[in-house]
Amino acid sequence: MQPEVVPAGTPGEATRARVERAALDLFASRGFENVTSDEVADAAGISRRTFFRYFATKADAVWGDFAGHVARLEALLAAGDPGQPVLASVCAAYVEVNAYPDSQLHLLRERMQLILTEPALLAHSQLRFAEVDRAVARYVAVRTGESPDRLVPRLVAASTRAAATTAFEAWLADEASSLVDQLRVALEEMAGGFLALRR
């Protein structure tokens, strides 16, 4: 693994990516709970202590650049068409931010499979997804002129996120399906008030 020269740029960026890969592989093959942070660190060639400098918790190692994901969502919301209804803007941004190139979909599937399947990771996900909720609620608040912690902004954030998460589950369950299609269907169904169920 090279004498680790690191000519320029962020020094540990390669290391961080290596640890993420090791973690993802180990968790996927043996289960999150059955892998110790020591084993992940060993597999990545660093000490356990250093592992916890890269990631605050064992669970955080599977999230990749989630902060960047949230930032991109916020950017999409900010850049969206203000003539469009609020709810439609949020749904569009949710679909758009998950329109990954094919080359990245496999990795995303791996991550989400773990996050939505492993109990400890599912629990932890609540804390990360809450960042998304806050971003969406802020946007809805701006658009509606309300405070971000009033009912409607929170409600839109919580509901769209629930729909998006369900779409991810459906995508994981069907190997052949398209993520953005699942997102579109789920978000439209929910945002439309479940018209199909009004019989």
Partner DNA sequence: ACACTAATGACACTGAGTGCCACCGATCAA
Partner DNA sequence: TTGATCGGTGGCACTCAGTGTCATTAGTGT
Contact positions toward DNA, by CB under 7 A? 3-7, 11-12, 15, 35-38, 45-50, 52-54, 56-59
Minimum CB separation from DNA for residue 118, in Å?
12
| Contact status: 56 vs a second copy (CB under 8 A) | no
**Shortest separation between residue 46's beta carbon and DNA, angstroms:** 4
With CB under 8 A as the contact rule, the residue among 86, 135, 141, 183 that binds a second copy is 86
Q: Which of a second copy, DNA, none lies near 161, with the C-beta cut-off 5 to 8 A by kind?
A: a second copy
Give me the phi and psi of 10, to 5 degrees please: -65, 125
Binding part of the chain for a second copy, among 7-15, 33-41, 46-54, 81-89 by CB under 8 A, reads 81-89
Query: Cβ 58 to DNA, closest distance in Å?
Result: 3
Dihedral sign from CA coordinates of 96, 101, 102, 105: negative
Q: How far apart are CA 51 and CA 56, in angstroms?
A: 9
Dihedral of CA atoms 98, 80, 134, 194 in degrees, nearest 10, equals: -70
- Nearest-angstrom CA–CA distance, 171 and 21: 22
